[in-house]
Chain A
């Protein structure tokens, strides 16, 4: 497949074929990380700038390792150490970075739309590392990869996504992608954490977790942000964990072979208990491992790499 996109901004912009192509390619990239010398020259001479305007450990590290394993040069910039904290606007920052001729910018930003705007205005590739409540496409692709790796398919799987759907870019990107790939998606949340129009996303929606658990092939728990508590979207961590948390009792209700996922970072004791997070069903660390392979694929495709990965 000829990859037609300079940028990766949203799963909404990808076709099922394109998603399938990324997942197929990621397998060969994953193999590189298992080698003794975990580096190929594919992106030698390319420069990748990581612009992170929101705290991130996993995503940033994952992109950086992915780029380095492809021999790209990486520079990481976070909000606290940049002139953003001096009041420079994001587009000024972007043009300044652009003036130094990077081949790709990975951007994480607290509000929606900035990656799309940068993609439109900058000549280099732009990869969205998460923008506001909009999308987190690389997370969804690594989640889909993990499902496909585990089950051998995505089509026909039932995936429950549980928690703060309203404020979750991970949930959005996953719903768009999983629905395109033929999975059945069930969204579970109290009514206060369901965004308007969610019924149009092609997923089913419910407020009750228990009936969903035995049907699901995968249960994906979303992080509860502390700020939601302050904004009174629900009454407190105690009640939330009882109604929407994944605990040992619910893990035991899961069907044979079903898996537990979480995009991280986990709030242990709120949306997930330690015995659920650390159970044999958990593929949470596989998700992290696969993140590197999927991001290697995306860096490679976005920058129009042609070299053979071997």
Chain B
């Protein structure tokens, strides 16, 4: 397969130039920046389009097994493909929890048969996500997990977290930490501040997140084991990470598109599609996160794609579950950051390609010869609007419903196979 005449952007190799890409036997065979010979292979005309490494979303909830009414591996993978995402890391808070190799094998097998993209499971840190006994990390790694996390909860006990990091490092597994001091977040449902008081909703203070970020960074410093902080939402939390990085601590982090593009103002009107953990924060927080991308303190952008059925979200703000979907709007959201803040697109693209690949230690995220033939074709000129009908997930709980986006995914190729085409 040849993809000809597009603008190739490959942050891993510092490439941003018009050229052709040759994919053979599922792998990138070569990138030709100066035109090349005629061919009998399938040719995709990419002129006017951007040709990108397939995106890696290191934080999604595919809900299978257990919550197939919200999403399943097949539907989630189709949503991902339509957003230009060719690899997802799926979180372990399924039912049963992915805390042992038989659940891991179920997910891997199900993905092999039903997913149109690469699905890589993350295993639980503790059995049943209960924060006490370590899960079978070694056996799960052998079955296919690429990281461990108790996402949705923090490991509250610091001693358990320390041992979890040491145990995970034994098997070469990265640890992804969801930071939330539940005694502080308590019954809160939105960012704590003037607006929560005015709306009469319980607040979640930023320190509920920052305190645990601090602890995990200190554990990483003490043990020398890397830690990845997921969905950072506060300026102060990002500051802790910045300082730790400057001190040489092996800490990395990701931020969600909704925290980069929306503020707590979105909660006015009590739209439950603006309810997620961590909550949408202040404008100052949002701008600090955007600045963190520009400065490089933020390593990755990940969606925390969290489908919930309409019936569940149609409750009052207090009762509706936390979480929003995001796979289909990942690349358009990233592109919006480029347009609105003038952040170099290649830097943004690294946050959804080579950076997560590096942190997870997985293949992909680049167009280097020999890499996986995962390619996304993107039309930066196209305008489109996210409507409930255009959502490919089983759930439509997006905070971006009704919004117009510039930039649209035209075609997604996974291991040399076209899996989505407009």
Closest to B319 in A: A111
* Residue A117 interfacial (CB < 8 Å): yes
Closest to A111 in B: B318
Chain A residues lying within 8 Å of B194, measured Cβ to Cβ, are: 196-197, 200
Closest to B269 in A: A116
CB distance from B274 to the nearest CB of A (A): 11
CB distance from B318 to the nearest CB of A (A): 4
- B270 engages A195 (CB within 8 Å): no
- A12 engages B317 (CB within 8 Å): no
For B178-203 the 0/1 string (1 means CB < 8 A from A) is 00000000000000111111111111
Chain A residues lying within 8 Å of B205, measured Cβ to Cβ, are: 196
Interface members, chain A 96-128 (any B CB < 8 Å): 109-114, 116-117, 120
Chain A residues lying within 8 Å of B201, measured Cβ to Cβ, are: 111-113, 132-134
CA distance A113 to B197 in the complex (A): 13
- B199 engages A197 (CB within 8 Å): no
* Residue B315 interfacial (CB < 8 Å): yes
Q: Looking at the complex, which one of A90, A110, A116, A198 makes contact with B197 (CB distance below 8 Å)?
A: A198
Give the number of residues in B that approach A within 8 Å (Cβ atoms): 22
* Residue A169 interfacial (CB < 8 Å): yes
* Residue B314 interfacial (CB < 8 Å): yes
- A111 engages B316 (CB within 8 Å): yes
* Given A111-B319, A116-B270, A196-B192, residue A89 in contact with residue B197 (CB < 8 A): no
- B318 engages A195 (CB within 8 Å): no
CB distance from A186 to the nearest CB of B (A): 17
- B199 engages A113 (CB within 8 Å): yes
- B198 engages A113 (CB within 8 Å): no
Sorting the interface of chain A by its residue count into under 10, 10 to 19, 20 to 34 or 35 or more gives 20 to 34
Chain B residues lying within 8 Å of A195, measured Cβ to Cβ, are: 196-197
Q: Looking at the complex, which one of B198, B202, B316 makes contact with A109 (CB distance below 8 Å)?
A: B316
* Residue A135 interfacial (CB < 8 Å): yes
* Given A89-B314, A91-B314, A132-B318, residue A113 in contact with residue B196 (CB < 8 A): no
Give the total number of A-B pairs whose CB atoms are below 8 A apart: 68
CA distance A195 to B205 in the complex (A): 12
- B195 engages A197 (CB within 8 Å): yes
Chain B residues lying within 8 Å of A197, measured Cβ to Cβ, are: 193-198
Closest to B186 in A: A231
CA distance A182 to B334 in the complex (A): 48
* Residue A131 interfacial (CB < 8 Å): yes
* Residue A172 interfacial (CB < 8 Å): yes
CA distance A31 to B205 in the complex (A): 49
Chain B residues lying within 8 Å of A109, measured Cβ to Cβ, are: 316
Chain B residues lying within 8 Å of A111, measured Cβ to Cβ, are: 201, 316-319
Greatest chain A CB density within 10 A among B200, B203, B205, B319 is at B200
CB distance from B282 to the nearest CB of A (A): 11
For A119-154 the 0/1 string (1 means CB < 8 A from B) is 010000000000111110000000000000000000
CB distance from B408 to the nearest CB of A (A): 31
CA distance A112 to B402 in the complex (A): 24
Q: Looking at the complex, which one of A90, A112, A196 makes contact with B200 (CB distance below 8 Å)?
A: A112
CB distance from B267 to the nearest CB of A (A): 9
CB distance from B302 to the nearest CB of A (A): 29
Chain B residues lying within 8 Å of A91, measured Cβ to Cβ, are: 314
Closest to A200 in B: B194
Interface members, chain B 72-91 (any A CB < 8 Å): none
Closest to A113 in B: B270
Chain B residues lying within 8 Å of A135, measured Cβ to Cβ, are: 200
* Given A89-B314, A112-B317, A196-B193, residue A12 in contact with residue B198 (CB < 8 A): yes
For B281-316 the 0/1 string (1 means CB < 8 A from A) is 000000000000000000000000000000100111
* Given A117-B270, A196-B193, residue A134 in contact with residue B316 (CB < 8 A): no
Q: Looking at the complex, which one of B199, B311, B314, B315 makes contact with A112 (CB distance below 8 Å)?
A: B199
Chain A residues lying within 8 Å of B311, measured Cβ to Cβ, are: 89
CB distance from B185 to the nearest CB of A (A): 14
Q: Give 19 A-B pairs besides A132-B318, A133-B197 with Cβ atoms closer than 8 angstroms.
A: A12-B198, A89-B315, A90-B316, A109-B316, A111-B319, A112-B199, A112-B201, A113-B200, A113-B270, A113-B317, A116-B269, A133-B201, A134-B200, A166-B197, A172-B197, A172-B198, A197-B193, A197-B196, A197-B198
A-B contact pairs, 5 of them (CB 8 A): A109-B316, A111-B316, A111-B319, A112-B199, A120-B269
A interface residues, Cβ below 8 angstroms from B: 12, 89-91, 109-114, 116-117, 120, 131-135, 166, 169, 172, 195-198, 200
